[in-house]
Amino acid sequence: MPNIGGLVTIEKVWQLDDMHDLKLTSRLKDVCLSFALSKLLRCRFTRYTNDEIGFTKASNFLRHMLLGDSYDDRLLRLVEHELSFLHDIYYSSLTISYSKIWMPLLSILISLSGIGYCLVLSILIVYVQIDYLNDTSDGQLPLIRCNYQCRRFISEAQGKIPAVHRQFFGSAIFDLVPVVVLIALVVLAEIREVASYICSNWTKVTLICHYINHASWQKSHMMKKCIRRVLQCRCKILKHFEDKMNQCSILVLHQTKTPMRLLHLLKPGQKVKVPREVKAAIMNALRSYEGSRDNNRIPCLITRPQFKTGDNLLWVVDGTKGIANTILVCHIATSILELGSAGSCQPLTDHKTAAIHLSRYCA
């Protein structure tokens, strides 16, 4: 990770243990590692070889983590952060904004100025409308106020006495509502812009790099406290990926044939939170894949599913009819398994839960 003060390596980040929060420090190390991996993956996208980018050491390090780390959520979180960095590199301007450290600060300052301007404008609008309310007797907000003066002859001694009359037309509600809505939208957009900078992983990586390269920051307790506050900020709205998976079944009958029902079928299936059992099954498959490479066996993530009831073999899918046939047979089998377990008081095992959710996802 290049920086003004020098090159920040993963080794330097891994030696960072003075944040007085082990959980926060571990999370920051994972973010920095994901950033470095996203850089390597970007090089792979541009068709660089492993020798040209030095990917061999990184690959061995990842395999060691994959085979030795039992925390499945942590490994999947690394992948999520890595994909988030890649998404920002190709589909957002954050990479340009963080090319210089003063550019995010300038963007935040402009957003705060916009919020302040909107607040001042709102106060002026409220003040003017309150002034109008004080002039009217019926408590309505007029759109146009007309003042005209008439002179009425009373007597020869008094002469003509002027009288001021006011007339109100229309209602200001039709003008105020769009203005207030527009101001609220601008304020919300600027608040989201500020939150996107403060809670961004790019900000965390930039702060860690400057913290490592500046000894004065490491000696200042106030700077450490401010950095911890910023690093603890997280915003769910800014997440590009949600921890959910689609669930669909092609075996469910839809007897109604109305047009609205047919349009409803085009919608994606129900989304559910990815269970812990599914994450564990995916990571175990990857560990098995890496283990087969270490044992000089032919690695393969697709195994032949065998469905048994007791000692009786029901099906053996050999894969000769294609992946779609395998997915269909697995979906039918897991649907039967789900129906058979519906009336049971026993909870589903981890393998059954993973099989049912993955089958519904592939369907």
* Residue 77 sits in the same domain as residue 221: yes
Query: Which tops the pLDDT comparison, 34 or 265?
Result: 34
Asked if residue 177 belongs to a domain, the reply is yes
* Residue 225 sits in the same domain as residue 255: no
* Residue 355 sits in the same domain as residue 268: yes
Number of structural domains in the chain? 3
Domain limits for position 14: 2-91+201-234
* Residue 152 sits in the same domain as residue 222: no
pLDDT at 41 over 60: yes
Query: What are the tokens at 225?
Result: 């406290």
CB 28 within 8 A of CB 46: no
Asked if residue 163 belongs to a domain, the reply is yes
Asked if residue 196 belongs to a domain, the reply is no
CB 56 within 8 A of CB 65: no
Q: Helix (H, G, I), strand (E, B), or coil: what is residue 274?
A: coil
* Residue 222 sits in the same domain as residue 82: yes
What mean pLDDT do residues 135-156 have? 60
| 302 Cβ contact partners less than 8 Å away, ≥ 6 residues apart | 319, 323, 326
Largest CA distance in the chain: 123
Start-to-end C-alpha separation, the chain: 41
* Residue 338 sits in the same domain as residue 250: yes
Lowest mean pLDDT among 92-96, 176-180, 263-267, 268-272: 263-267
What sign results for the dihedral spanned by CA atoms 348, 349, 350, 352?
A: negative
* Residue 226 sits in the same domain as residue 250: no
pLDDT tens column, 97-111: 777 778 888 888 999
For residue 19, give the amino acid letter.
M
pLDDT for position 210: 83
pLDDT at 184 over 80: yes
What mean pLDDT do residues 309-336 have? 65
* Residue 353 sits in the same domain as residue 271: yes
Asked if residue 225 belongs to a domain, the reply is yes
Asked if residue 23 belongs to a domain, the reply is yes
* Residue 265 sits in the same domain as residue 327: yes
Query: What are the tokens at 248?
Result: 């669909």
* Residue 298 sits in the same domain as residue 333: yes
User: What is the phi-psi region of residue 228: left when phi exceeds 0, alpha when psi lies from -120 to 50, beta otherwise?
Assistant: alpha
Between 276-294 and 350-362, two packed helices, what is the crossing angle to 10 degrees? 90
Query: What are the tokens at 215?
Result: 């000894």
pLDDT for position 339: 80
* Residue 45 sits in the same domain as residue 78: yes
CB 270 within 8 A of CB 117: no
pLDDT at 181 over 80: yes
pLDDT for position 80: 85
Q: Provide the 8-state DSSP code for 128.
A: H
pLDDT for position 314: 45
Query: What are the tokens at 303?
Result: 């195994």
pLDDT at 278 over 80: yes
Query: What are the tokens at 282?
Result: 């995916």
* Residue 205 sits in the same domain as residue 84: yes
pLDDT tens column, 45-85: 877 776 666 666 666 666 666 666 566 777 888 888 888 88
Lowest mean pLDDT among 224-228, 242-246, 284-288, 317-321: 317-321
Asked if residue 104 belongs to a domain, the reply is no
